[in-house]
Amino acid sequence: MDARLNYLAAPAVGKALKHFMSAGRALKDSPLPAATQELVAVRVSQINGCAACLDMHTKEAAAAGESVVRLNLVAAWREATVFTEAERAALELAEEGTRVADASQGVSDAVWEHAAKHYDEEQLTALVFLVSFLNAVNRLNIITRQPAGNYEPGQFH
């Protein structure tokens, strides 16, 4: 399958995309744990059905030492015993933040309060930005049918 568009072929859009993606790279340096970042990236991409992002984030997580068991269980994190309470709080916030059209109030107070028990304000800010960023990237990839399967860990660093 070929992508519908090559974003980098249009100079103005390519420049904007480079700046946009640099925001995602900056999140890697946030105090939100790296494992949590990748688990959230996988879950948001699963919900949205973004194959390109799933390809990238599962491979990046595995290359960083994430276990196959945990990666395979992200979709069923509620029933899985392999995630910490903090990771569960992040995954729950990521789900509600991704499914805003499905919820009458967006992210519920209960979900927010659960996350706030495990993360400080800087980490929560990074988590909210990460969920928003991932949803935007998922949409860019889905709309243009970016292919998946050939990503190599570290390819965009």
The residue whose two tokens read 């595995």 is 62
Burial label, 1 (beta-carbon count in 10 A; 0-12, 13-18, 19+): exposed
Residue 118, SS3 per DSSP: helix
Measured CA angle at 82 (ends 71, 103), to 5 deg: 75
Residue 39 has pLDDT above 90, yes or no: yes
Give the pair of three-digit tokens for residue 126.
Answer: 């990074």
**117 confidence band (pLDDT: 50, 70, 90):** very high
Q: Which fold has domain 33-143?
A: AhpD-like (1.20.1290)
pTM beyond 0.85, yes or no:
yes
User: Measured between alpha carbons, how far is 149 from 153 in angstroms, rounded to an integer?
Assistant: 12
* Closest alpha carbon to 137 in 11, 2, 22, 15: 22
For residue 14, the model assigns a pLDDT of: 81
| 140 φ/ψ angles, rounded to the nearest 5 degrees | -60, -45
Mean pLDDT of 7-14: 78
- Rounded Cα–Cα distance for residues 155 and 124 (Å): 27
What confidence tier does 66 reach under pLDDT thresholds 50, 70, 90?
Answer: very high
Q: Which helix (H) or strand (E) holds 22?
A: helix 11-27
Helices (H), 49-84: 51-63, 68-73
Q: What is the pLDDT of residue 105?
A: 78
